[in-house]
Structure 1
Amino acid sequence: MVIMGYARVSSKDQNPERQLIKFRELGIPERYIFVEKQSGKDFEREKYQAMRLMLREGDLLYLDALDRLGRNYDGIVSEWKYITHEVNADIVCLENEALFDSRKFKGMGDIGKLLEDQFLSMLAYVAEQERKKNWIRQAEGMQVARAAGVKFGRPKHEITPEFIEVYQEWKADKITARKAMKRIGMSNTTFYRRVSEYEA
């Protein structure tokens, strides 16, 4: 039996260390800990797929919480059943270990399958609803920020007196285009776009 851990955070600036500490405390070897910094909207994740391919009958997979597996309702249910029924490995969710330890359900026969399906459906639904709430909160936050004058995306390079001075030197063949771009910190594309705007 191989014991594995799968940790996931939704973006590259988030830290999965809290999840990793739990796995290390369980004695899971580093080579069997899979860490992903990617959204849980689907299951086409490199580390997840690698872990999935390695799982064999009798193996045990630890998750910090069910939503680390994913945030798509149907996908969570499908993946859980694939791992626990088709591969015949087991899953333990540390956050809800009393409820979510597939070994307990297997030992209860048909009633265990029924309970597992009910609990899994309930928590997978909660996980997906939380993801939808996060989208709504993010959209509302951006709307409020825009109303307050906050601009998103890369700042636009304006046509400044500095640009005009550099432009005139470049047009008079006193400096090269590359040197002009470097002096005002513009990329090739941005520089020529501003040139077109200025000349128009």
Structure 2
Amino acid sequence: MGKTYGYIRVSSTDQNELRQCLALQEQNIPRENIFIDKVSGKDFQRPQYCAMLKRLKAGDQICITSIDRLGRNYKEIQQQWHILTKDMKVDILVLDMPLLDTRRDKDLLGTFIADLVLQVLSFVAQNERENIRRRQAEGIAAAKSSGIRFGREPSPLPSGFSRVYALWKEGKINTSEAARRCGMPRSSFRYRAATYMRKNTT
């Protein structure tokens, strides 16, 4: 009988993996057989996931709490599932979806049902990821249109900037001289000058 391994993934270091750990411990998986990644699920180039793959042998089993812990990219989930179950002969158990348990119903119908459920769930996982990105982009765009700023507040312009800007704009001094008088690098002066011009021409 093969060994059982648990795989846990959280998207960032500030997320807690405790819930997933408890769920896997209830499956009597030894702590040394549980691999934890604190990275995005956009691809499968994850240190602990790769370390687990190196230990897997035919007949072993991987246990995860939900399909989105495996990954969030629809195409790559499909490819990885095929590699694990078909090429490596490893079973997979998804705790929150009993139909995704390749240990049982290994006949044609059972395989068909598991593959069908996987396609639906992995599509939902990717679709939700794309919806989150879209909502974030819409939220940022709406906030910007309302005048909300993101990032650090720019430092105040040095005293006399408007006078130096006017001389620079009229071509009476070059960029290097304008930057020197304002006590800032040339690139910073050009950026602040462009911002100043937009504010004063709208």
SS in structure 2 of the partner of residue 36 of structure 1: strand
Q: 1:159 to 1:140 in 2, by over 3 A?
A: same
Q: 1:179-190, aligned counterparts within 5 Å?
A: none
From 109, 130, 133, give the equivalent of 1:132.
130
Task: Letter of the 1:48 partner, please give it.
Answer: Y
SS in structure 1 of the partner of residue 35 of structure 2: strand
Q: Percent identity?
A: 40
Q: 1:1-200, aligned counterparts within 5 Å?
A: 1-96=2-97, 98-106=98-106, 109-159=107-157, 193=185, 197=189
Deviations 1:73-109 (A, max 9, x none): 111111112111211111111111x211111232xx2
C-alpha displacement at 1:194, in angstroms? 9.2
RMSD: 2.5
CA distance in 2, matches of 1:94, 1:196: 55
Q: 1:149 to 1:91 in 2, by over 3 A?
A: same
C-alpha contact 1:84 1:90 (8 A) present in aligned 2: yes
Structure with the bigger percentage of helix: 1
Larger radius of gyration: 2
C-alpha displacement at 1:137, in angstroms? 1.3
Q: 1:194 to 1:12 in 2, by over 3 A?
A: farther
CA distance in 2, matches of 1:4, 1:59: 8
Aligned residues: 168
CA distance in 2, matches of 1:84, 1:123: 17
SS in structure 1 of the partner of residue 7 of structure 2: strand
SS in structure 2 of the partner of residue 8 of structure 1: strand
CA distance in 2, matches of 1:15, 1:49: 21
CA distance in 1, matches of 2:67, 2:25: 19
Deviations 1:39-95 (A, max 9, x none): 111111111111122111111111110011111111111111211121111111111
Q: 1:85 to 1:157 in 2, by over 3 A?
A: same
CA distance in 1, matches of 2:84, 2:76: 12
SS in structure 2 of the partner of residue 34 of structure 1: strand
CA distance in 2, matches of 1:23, 1:120: 20
User: How does the TM-score come out when normalised to structure 1?
Assistant: 0.74
SS in structure 2 of the partner of residue 52 of structure 1: helix
Unaligned runs of 5+ in 2: 160-182, 194-202
Q: 1:196 to 1:49 in 2, by over 3 A?
A: closer
C-alpha contact 1:41 1:71 (8 A) present in aligned 2: yes
C-alpha contact 1:105 1:116 (8 A) present in aligned 2: no
Q: 1:46 to 1:195 in 2, by over 3 A?
A: closer
C-alpha contact 1:5 1:61 (8 A) present in aligned 2: yes
